[in-house]
Amino acid sequence: MNTSQNERSVPLKALIAARIFAGSVHLLTPRWASNLIDMPATGTPGIVYARMFGVRNLLLAAALTRLDRFDNPRRFLAVNVLIDAVDAVAFVAAGQRKDIGPKAAAIGTAIAVSATALGALATPPRP
């Protein structure tokens, strides 16, 4: 799989950009990020979790920029898809349990499903 800077697919570029944006926002301004999707963070461990989410996304973005270094880049993309699919299920479940409000559940699920789709679209067909 040739993944040089000039030959990356549009979905892969979008996924990398989204991970960099989400990671930076959650790491540097976790309270703002939480408020953006209407997820209260004050008085909860939400700030710590937001920063952890930020670090995770920045590391995934960094690895996605270096897919050419992986023995099996398709497998790493599949892991990305799995991570985002689990995030989507977690947001749906949290909304159903009323751990978070409906707006936070809907926005979080939409973001996670979008990332899942980008990862799936970025994965090249098997040779």
What per-residue confidence (pLDDT) applies to 114? Answer: 97
Give DSSP secondary structure letters for 11-39.
HHHHHHHHHHHHHHHHHH-HHHHHHHTT-
Amino acid 5: pLDDT: 41
Please list the rounded mean pLDDT of every run of 10 residues in the chain (127 residues): 60 97 96 89 88 97 96 95 98 96 95 97 88
Q: Which among 21, 41, 20, 17 is positioned nearest to 30, based on CA atoms?
A: 41
Parse the chain into domains and list their residue ranges.
9-122
pLDDT at 7: 62
The greatest distance separating any two alpha carbons of the chain, rounded to the nearest whole angstrom, comes to 51
Q: How far is CA 76 from the centre of its chain?
A: 14
Instruction: Provide the token pair at 103.
Output: 């707006």
pLDDT at 3: 46
Return the pLDDT at 48.
Answer: 93
